[in-house]
Structure 1
Amino acid sequence: MRAFSLFLIPILLLSACAAVDDSKKSITLDKALWHYETAIRWVDFTSANSLRRPENSTDYSPDPALLKHIKVTSYNVQNTTTSADHAEVDITVEIIYYHDERMTLTTITDSQKWKYDPEIKAWYITTPLPAFR
């Protein structure tokens, strides 16, 4: 029985460490998502862009002259899917905004892919900024 206990203790400790690591990942993801959402809602695209690491150099990049006319009225997360290893998250967001010279509400769906960087223990978004028009 004692040998079994000595074998079981390290396994329990390792699984506890993994749970703590997943919990820390979740907390840092929540913070990154909050910062990104806040930046988009307040039309601070420089801050939103600072959380990005584009995977494709041809990603859409909104025109800065256009962005100064965009006013976001709503940012609602519609769906979240997490990978089995908790290192990637796909999020679908509905964004409602208007262009201050046109004054018509426009709704877009923004598909976001977030990835965790274990070296710096932080999340980053790989997809482009929302496609405001």
Structure 2
Amino acid sequence: MTIRIRAAWMALCLCLLALAGCASSGHDSNQLERNQYAYSAAIRWGDFEGAWMLVDPKYRDAHPLSELELERYKQIQVAGYRDMASQTLPDGDVVREIQIEVVNRHTLTQRSTRYTERWHFDPVSKTWWLAGGLPDFFSE
């Protein structure tokens, strides 16, 4: 599947999620769960471009994902994605501690990494966005 087809497919999914979110007001926890599920599924299936579309647009604009970074994500296979803990912060944001198992496709070595997701509700778009970028599997 080409990058453009994946991006179009993910944009369609996001539009559907946004439309579903329009029916509710405030901090819809069901929408948060749907977005978290969509994000975790994208990561599990190696669809990092799709996962990128669930990152806050302000963050995406400030930190664009380069072709080199996308190519690096193609070097790994996600073997496990486990939600370890979740907490609602006083400002309304939600954080989840995630443990991700990854396998390097070239060396077939597996390793585990911890990742903290921070989800923020945007009242303008009435949707939950991942406040930071994708997991960094490449720094030691």
Shorter-chain TM-score bucket reads 0.7 to 0.9
Find the counterpart in structure 2 of residue 34 from structure 1: 37
Alpha carbons of structure 1 residues 64 and 21: separation in structure 2 relative to 1, 3 Å: closer
CA distance in 2, matches of 1:58, 1:128: 8
In the TM superposition, 1:1-133 aligns within 5 A as 25-53=28-56, 54=59, 57=62, 63-84=69-90, 87-133=92-138
Tell me the percent identity: 26
After superposing on structure 2, the runs of 4+ consecutive aligned residues of structure 1 that deviate more than 3 Å are 55-62
CA distance in 1, matches of 2:32, 2:101: 23
TM-score by length of 1: 0.73
CA distance in 2, matches of 1:80, 1:60: 27
For residue 55 of structure 1, report the CA deviation from its aligned partner: 8.2
Alpha carbons of structure 1 residues 60 and 93: separation in structure 2 relative to 1, 3 Å: farther
- Once superposed, what is the RMSD of the aligned Cα atoms? 2.5
Structure 1 residues without counterparts, runs of 5 or longer = 1-19
Secondary structure at the aligned position of 1:63 is classed as helix
Alpha carbons of structure 1 residues 59 and 77: separation in structure 2 relative to 1, 3 Å: farther
Output one character per residue of 1:37-59: Cα deviation in whole Å (capped at 9) or x when no partner: 00000010111000112289469
Structure 2 residues without counterparts, runs of 5 or longer = 1-23
Q: Which has the larger radius of gyration?
A: 1
